[in-house]
Amino acid sequence: MVPDYIKDNWQTLLSYAFASIGLVWQVSSISKVYFNYETQVDISIGVSTKIAMPGLTVCLEIDQLSFGNATRQDIEIAAQFLSQSSVSSLNYLTKYEYSYLPINLLANFASPDIKLYCNVPATELPRLNTSLDWTCGNIVPTKITIHYMLITGTIARCVTYFYQDSAGGEFDVFTNSAKDFYVLKIDTFEPKVISIYVHNPSQINQISDADTITFSTGELNEIVLLTSKFVTLLLPPPYRTACRSYDEFEFGRLGCIFDCFVKETNKRCPVWSILSPANVSVALPFMRKVSESNGTSDCHVKEKNFCFSVCSQPECKGVYYTTTNVYLSERRSLANSNSTLVYVRRPSGVEFGYKYKARLAPIEFFCYLASCLSLWYGISFINFYRFLTGWLRNNLISFNFISQQTQVQSPSQLAAISNKPSSINNMKIQYLHPYQPNQNRYFNKNPIHYHQPSWLAEHSNIRPKAPQISTLRNKWSPLSPQRAVYDKKKFNLSSVQIYSAW
């Protein structure tokens, strides 16, 4: 048997079932899109009014050492390392054996046969010493690193201009008549091989892996380099780009990889990794030989993939530069000159930016869910507010205060609808005597009378108007005690109230 309630309300139940199916389908579809954490890319192409200064690194191979300014202690430490590496004396070292010296001593002993003059044609940048010109080292202190050159097996000393850590940000220059980032003049006493590269100012790559431009000062008189830049902005987990900030490392993600190389190398030998650039404060050598009985120790990491997997997450903000050699001027005169001018040009065209953002942002997901509830169930914020306040009144607030919010109808209005079974059938009519003297509205001493609709129909001629007060008193009192129900927990209202009997 089908219950009567279902028979009488089958259309309503069917509409609710259809709405529920539609709601579940829509919510599941949009939830699948949101919880897959897919991303989309916004590509920005344009010319910026401000241009960030890139980093510029100049490297020169160390081919001679000078011990004139070395202390006795430094020489003793160097001799101790050399004896452990089966190298006879400091005086007979070749450039291929410099890797056996501690890096901090090597930086002190290095006597590069080179002079660098770097200028920045951007007068809006602040100077460290206002009495000097806008040289590269007078705006940001230069950073010196020592690199092991994998191809030649020698050591290089590198000078980086405009190095900034990730927390320091970048130096911006305004777009003006200047067309160059840097004007670099390199002077050497004899032809030298120079390697330079433009890069992210917060990262210094290993010279063997960098996009370097290598030339000899004895062959070229002038070089013009054109730079281009593009930026990527990724999202952290749980989005698919799964980026990482790498703020704890000096060179960002590269610093994470270098740190892994050094740790894996130190597990084998007390040396610095030849795959990582070293600061001048490092007290370890790049190489070390052991006794003949043990042979040559295999200290260094040869498989890079392990450290790449440790630092596999991309950086949340990646800044990349590419350098193109657009002009070369070969040395044609017979003059014995080893001076080369290098111009690093600003981007002449547009800059590209790649910004990854969520395919469906959290606020969009929330709005979509709210619209689904409104579409299928008609639920809105106003309805929810009314439901919540009503529930609070019924459950958390004293019933004395609830009675003041009850729907109120006059006797004449109830009489007019008493013949409509669908409206007040199965309804209990509560009548409060409105004219008892000395009634207290907050501490009710008034009897409350409940009447059935039939009684209301018989008294439909009642009109509670001010001129008929005496008549109303005569007709409304006294009432039969059998019809009266006393409830002193409610307020005394001068009207009739309807309460559903369901």
| pLDDT category of residue 450 using cuts at 50, 70 and 90 | very low
Preceding peptide of 453 cis, ω within 30° = no
Helix, strand and coil content of the chain, in percent to the nearest 5, comes to 30, 25, 45
pLDDT tens for each residue of 270-306:
889 999 999 998 988 898 765 333 434 577 777 788 8
Query: What's the rounded Cα separation, in Å, for the pair 306 and 257?
Result: 9
Residue 469 amino acid letter: I
Q: Please report which confidence band the pLDDT of residue 132 belongs to, taking 50, 70 and 90 as the band edges.
A: confident
Q: Buried b vs exposed e over 239-250: b needs ≥16 C-beta within 10 Å?
A: bebebbebeebb
pTM beyond 0.75: the answer is: no
Query: Looking at the domain assignment, is residue 420 inside a domain?
Result: no
Asked which of 116-130, 325-339, 487-501 is least confident by mean pLDDT, the reply is 487-501
Residue 28 domain-assigned (yes or no): no
DSSP state of 408: E
The string of DSSP letters for 119-152 reads: E---TTS--SSTTS--BGGGTS--EEEEEEETTT
Residues 6+ apart with CB under 8 A from 239: 37, 38, 39, 356, 358
- AA letter at 314: P
Whether residue 291 lies inside any domain: the answer is yes
Counting residues of the chain whose pLDDT is more than 70, the rounded percentage is 71
Strands 220-233, 339-345: pairing is parallel
Whether 27 is in a domain gets the answer: no
Higher local confidence (pLDDT), 237 or 437: 237
Would residue 51 count as lying in a domain?
yes
In tens, the pLDDT along 27-78 reads 999 999 899 888 888 888 877 777 888 999 999 888 877 766 667 777 777 7
Question: How much is the average pLDDT of 8-35?
Answer: 87
pLDDT of residue 50: 75
Q: Please tell me the total count of domains within the chain.
A: 1
Per the model's pLDDT, the better-predicted residue between 416 and 5 turns out to be 5
CA pair distance 458, 253, nearest whole angstrom: 90
Strand arrangement of the beta sheet that strand 278-279 belongs to: 213-216, 193-199, 55-61, 154-161, 143-149, 278-279
Q: Which amino acid is at 61?
A: E
Is residue 366 one of the residues assigned to a domain? no
What the block records as the tokens of 275 is: 């795959």
Radius of gyration of the chain (CA): 44
In a domain, residue 189? The reply is yes
Establish if 455 belongs to a structural domain: no
At 97 the pLDDT is 81
**What is the span of the domain harbouring residue 92?**
46-358
Question: Which range (89-103, 131-145, 205-219, 300-314) has the least confidence?
Answer: 89-103
Q: Tokens 């309804």 label which residue?
A: 427
Q: What is the pLDDT of residues 471-490, one digit of tens each?
A: 333 443 343 333 334 343 33
